[in-house]
Amino acid sequence: MTRKGRRLLLISCALGVLGVAAGVVLFALNDTIVFFRSPSEIAAERTAPGTRLRLGGLVKDGSVVKSDNTHVRFVVTDGGADVAVNYVGLLPDLFREGQGVIAEGVMVPDGSFRADSILAKHDENYMPKEVADALKKQGVWKEGETAQ
């Protein structure tokens, strides 16, 4: 085998090993990737039960129901669709009706969402980019306005 042939074989093997390593990393990260969806996207796509995702929108006025110290039910809306959310845990201090929220969890077979973490906006000028984009698309939220 010539010197040029050995070099080509070495480069080919290195690229093969690099490709396999990249494939293994992507496969391992597949379980940790969580996609953001708005209530309208969930309704349109008929998201399958057990799918892990982030749900973002506004907490619908009059929808928050606290059954005991840590169990809370509320509805997230983007103006186009609503999704019922069940959460067990402590809510952020800034969580309230009419405010932006992101809930991370899984869809359940009855069409509601079981959240295992809740994120609320941190001041009156901040809206998570994904939530703002989804609300702008629905015509509910405009730049410079706050969700009251």
Annotated binding site for heme: 122, 126
Strand locations in 6-142, DSSP E?
Answer: 35-37, 52-59, 65-66, 71-77, 82-88, 100-107, 113-120
- Name the percent of the chain in helix, strand, coil, to the closest 5: 30, 30, 40
Per the CB < 8 A criterion, the answer to whether 57 and 98 are in contact is no
* Binding site members: 122, 126
